[in-house]
Amino acid sequence: MRALILAGAAALFFSSCQNTTAVHKEPYQWPSVQPPVAEKKPKDVGMFGDKRIDDYYWMGDYFFKGPDSTKVVDYLKGENAYTDTMMAGTRDFQEKLFNEMKGRIKEKDESVPVFKNGYFYYTRFEEGQQYYIACRKKGAMDAPEEILLNVNELAKGHAYYAIGGTAVSPDNKLLLYGVDTVSRRQYTLHVKNLETGALYTDVIPNTEGYGVWANDNRTIYYVAKHPVTLLSEKIMRHTLGNTAPDELVYEEKDKSNYINVDKSKSERYIFITSEATISSEVRYAEADAPRPVFKVFAPRMKDVLYDVSHQGDRFLVRTNKDAQNFRLMETSLDQTDVSHWKELIPHRKDVLLEDVEPFRNFLVISERKGGLAQLNIRNLKNNDSHYLDFGEPAYTAYASANPEYNSEVLRYGYTSLTTPSSTFDYDMNTRQKKLLKQQEVVGGYDKTQYVTERLMATAKDGTKVPISIVYKKGFKKDGSQPLLLYGYGSYGNSEDATFNSGRLSLLDRGFAYAIAHVRGGQEMGRQWYEDGKLMKKINTFTDFIDCAEYLIAQGYTAKEHLYANGGSAGGLLMGSVVNMRPDLFNGVVADVPFVDVVTTMLDESIPLTTNEFDEWGNPKDKAAYDYMKSYSPVDNVTRRDYPNLLVTTGLHDSQVQYFEPAKWVAKLRVNNTGKHVIMLKTNMDFGHGGASGRFDYLKDVALRYAFYCALEGIIEKQ
């Protein structure tokens, strides 16, 4: 999935005490330097008699290990030098922004402990350190601390270091964890003895980064990846200390499917799930069995998704079979075929059933209605149910870490555009909630100084598209103030309103920030997703444009003060809208953008391609080819005045390869008839999510913010 995942994202929820000050504006003077000129080597990449010339296909040579590999790296370095020169006048301002955002973070901090199997687990940060320390205490929080992983120590000597999933063995003695030091999401699994601190010699490379323990404390199930396409293609079984090759448990033959392995909350079952965009199939086995044979829960059905969880004497099945927005079914432990499923929660046209959290005596149902998340608590002892009330117009609420099956307390998270990340415990019997932690604000933060609204724009076809917006009190709705509009709109990902400490550096300088909840996400239900994919993908782009025009019409901003941002598949959105309406935005930042849609989707050796035919289409089909070509940003660059653009990528990106944005920028430059700047910034050490440290990624944020501010004439000294 080409979803943008920013490393250090948890730090975005920290708050701010910055006060609004008078903002001095003067036009930023762009240096008079020439950008790099990419060599043209025309290659016909068309099909069906369509001559489609790619002048910059050679830029893929670093990825494909072709003859121009060194030339590609040199070109990207030249682009970086050009961007650095163009932004040189903002260098002090970038440093100021970085220090400002870093200064909001409470450097010495600790998460709320989570209780599981006799231990309280938590992470903590030490002052000045980039990474967390994973810890636990036995039985009570006043017990001695055990350090499971000090990621600061592990990361020494690495430009990038990320821990994947972690899993403690059922007997609490062993820790399984994944490590990625390249930023291509190819993790190596390690096992640590928590009693001695020693690492086992068992090392498992090229995995998805997590594993599941069988109940014997010796057997590990994990997902192995294809070394080139990075497809999750095999479920393997590893026995500690066994030097023989690991055993194949399941191999996925369909290259359009993702596979994963997990364990039921009750610890009784291990599940293997194979899932494409529109269908899925689950296999299951007893976690106690020494060498289990996984049984198919229900055979794959055309256009039917289902997932399974265990509760007591039944399985719970969330499915869209005969239920577009999903419904909840149950079936006995020994009769799992679809003919035995019985309905618990029916389908509702106005409510999307997103997830189920089972407890022994309760069910917590995550739902979405009117674009907003809801938590429905169902008491299985008396069949009563109720919803939590959150009281804000735009927010995010979600069931958090709840590993204890027997608990009657729900741990949930809450945040909004103005409320810092908060963790609550909710007694499902007494209906009393307790705030355990709201991220501490260094220097104080007054949320009443910020205003959030939920707006509705009307799309060209009459559809109402939600917009979440936040700004500081005193914001003038006369078209004079800047606004940053964010969008994504793919894979059914719902872009909820969350707090972001970095964003306050814009709000406090007079910007508004808005999220366009465009079709292709799932905010308004499953149909919202269906109407923004495949042969309806154009709705994603026109919705974003309609939201922008609505904000201008309502006086929130004007074209000369409007900015846009999106990353990955959201970068595709940016590329498409600047082709369709280059006049609408003063500046656009496209992060790791998926912009060469047809060429990439034609090459099945490129990661994610076959997984995503159900999302974008397979261009080997002519109808899909023609439709994808009609919006693919690289294919639709023409002679016109493009807005100011800052495009970012990572040399080791596994989701969107660096050559897509590099080719796009080169083609934009050749065709740009105006004087607006077009810049490319390649992170030569990282991949899709940027830097891995909780502070380092802020340097990239500071660059983007300095770009917006420069275009507004806001350049402040240190």
First to last CA, the chain: 40
Statement: residue 655 has pLDDT above 80: no
- Distances from the Cα of 63 to the Cαs of 59, 99, 184, 606, 662, in angstroms? 9, 35, 12, 9, 13
568 counts as catalytic: yes
Neighbours of 292 (CB within 10 A): 18
79 Rama sector, left if φ>0, alpha if ψ -120 to 50, beta otherwise: alpha
CB distance 402 to 410 below 8 Å: yes
Q: What is the pLDDT of residues 416-433, one digit of tens each?
A: 999 999 999 999 999 999
Neighbours of 96 (CB within 10 A): 18
Which residues lie below 8 Å from residue 317, measured CB to CB, with a gap of 6+?
298, 306, 307, 308, 328, 329, 330, 331, 341
* Structure-block tokens of residue 458: 């009307």
183 counts as catalytic: no
Statement: residue 60 has pLDDT above 50: yes
Task: Indicate the pLDDT class of residue 282, thresholds 50, 70 and 90.
Answer: very high
Q: What is the pLDDT of residues 471-527, one digit of tens each?
A: 999 999 999 999 999 999 999 999 999 998 889 999 999 999 999 999 999 999 999
Q: What is the pLDDT of residues 538-594, one digit of tens each?
A: 999 999 999 999 999 999 999 999 999 999 999 999 999 999 999 999 999 999 999
Mean per-residue pLDDT of the chain: 92
DSSP assignment letter at 305: -
238: exposed, middle or buried (Cβ count in 10 Å: 0-12, 13-18, 19+):
buried
CATH H-level superfamily of 9-103+444-711: Alpha/Beta hydrolase fold, catalytic domain (3.40.50.1820)
Statement: residue 710 has pLDDT above 90: yes
Q: Model-level pTM?
A: 0.91
Q: 668 phi and psi, to 5 degrees?
A: -60, -45
Task: Indicate the pLDDT class of residue 11, thresholds 50, 70 and 90.
Answer: very low
688 counts as catalytic: yes
- Distances from the Cα of 266 to the Cαs of 38, 241, 359, 536, 554, in angstroms? 57, 27, 9, 41, 52
345-368 burial code (b ≥16 CB/10 A, e <16): bebbeebbbbbbbbbebbbbbbbb
Region 90-96: what's the mean pLDDT? 96
Q: What is the pLDDT of residues 348-391, one digit of tens each?
A: 999 999 999 999 999 999 999 999 999 999 999 999 999 999 98
- Distances from the Cα of 441 to the Cαs of 67, 123, 420, 421, 449, in angstroms? 53, 19, 9, 11, 15
Catalytic residue among 688, 692, 696, 700: 688
CATH H-level superfamily of 109-372: Prolyl oligopeptidase, N-terminal domain (2.130.10.120)
Instruction: State the residue for tokens 């004497």.
Output: 313
What are the extents of the domains in the chain?
9-103+444-711, 109-372, 373-437
Catalytic residue among 653, 654, 692, 700: 653
* Structure-block tokens of residue 409: 């307390």
Catalytic residue among 111, 422, 501, 568: 568
Give helix 69-86 / helix 659-671 axis angle, nearest 10°: 60
